[in-house]
Amino acid sequence: MAETKTERLRVLVLDDYEGLATQVPAIEKLQAKADGAVMRNRLVTDEELGRALKGIHAILLMRERTRFGEKQLSLAPDLKLISQTGRGIAHLDLPAATRRGIAVSVTPNDSGISTVELTFGLIFALLRQIPQIDRRMRQEAWPAIPGQLLEGKTIGIVGLGRIGKQVASIARAFNTRVLATAKTLTDDRAREVGAERVSLEGILRESDIVTLHFPLNQDTRGLIGEKEISLMKAGALLINTSRGPIVSESALLHALEKGKLGGAGLDVYDEEPLPINHPLRRLSNVVLLSHRGYATVEILRERFELAMDNILSFLDGKPTNLLNPEVPAQGRK
């Protein structure tokens, strides 16, 4: 909606779980031009969301923490701009936003190093049994729980893109054998990062650790199911920092409960937040994180800054980084 003499743009920042939105320099510029609010808690129901969106002209979304389909968009009749952090919009109905005249802006993807680092954090947590030892150090004198070395292991990387390539390069520094597979991967591209190109079946059969680094789409949903897990080595580890539905949750639970897998490091789930009574929470051979792959102080601040810059550009009548530039410019200023 246009900023007028009698009405300032009203901006809502959703899902700032970590409380960092108000710590970036752009917030002062935004507050000088618009009235805003920051929501730290997740709005669970559409009723809660509808109350929050009343009279709101622009929203800032942190990744995919809140879904905005046709129903949710209908709760915000005054909405003119969605400023989205990152470029992934699986949670957002872009055609519906466009039909409603809502511009959608995005920010560039980061290097992925935060997810790379977290991947190794999960690997070491499982191999060295860090969570178990930490808990028992608070209950007994000196827990005698042996760990395992990463050195000499075989790591299988499913998806050798922006993140997978960095995982491969770092894994080689630990004197591991690195296997990789991807839809368009060639032998030469695999060798560039010290990996061997093999099939998905080959990775599952030969790897001590399988780590997933590819997007969720129609082709990859449920890619790792009961059959695929049955091919894995007894005691192998599965790491998923990509998206939960890539792995069959029921098949994974069964393999963990029966001891087929040695453990799993999970940052993503079918349903997020993970329900408090979910069976994964009861297993001792899993390390569970709350979708922390990108959630570092540095990256969150950078994304908030860039997303707020997009709102400021919109206010100035010069919208940037739009996914739907066909939305009429009328009312942007």
Nearest to 156 by CA among 213, 115, 118, 117: 213
Are the CB atoms for 331 and 2 separated by under 8 Å?
yes
Q: How far is CA 142 from the centre of its chain?
A: 36
The 10 Å Cβ neighbour count of residue 333 is: 15
Residue 32 identity (one-letter amino acid): A
Residue 136 bears catalytic tag: no
Burial of residue 168 (number of CB atoms within 10 Å: 0-12, 13-18, 19+): buried
Are the CB atoms for 30 and 61 separated by under 8 Å?
no
Active site residue: 272, 278, 292, 301, which one? Answer: 272
Q: How far apart are CA 20 and CA 64, in angstroms?
A: 17
Phi, psi of 290 (to 5 degrees): -100, 65
Q: How far apart are CA 200 and CA 203, in angstroms?
A: 5
Q: Strand, coil or helix: what is 179?
A: strand
- ∠218-222-227 over CA atoms, to 5°? 140
Phi, psi of 75 (to 5 degrees): -80, -5
Active site residue: 57, 243, 303, 332, which one? Answer: 243
Nearest to 126 by CA among 156, 151, 157, 147: 147
Nearest to 286 by CA among 248, 252, 245: 252
Which residues does residue 155 pair with via DSSP β-bridges, in sequence order?
178, 209
Residue 254 bears catalytic tag: no
Q: Which two tokens stand for residue 107?
A: 């920010």
Which residues does residue 178 pair with via DSSP β-bridges, in sequence order?
155
Active site residue: 63, 197, 213, 291, which one? Answer: 291
Which residues does residue 12 pair with via DSSP β-bridges, in sequence order?
37, 59
Residue 291 bears catalytic tag: yes
- Catalytic amino acids? 243, 272, 291
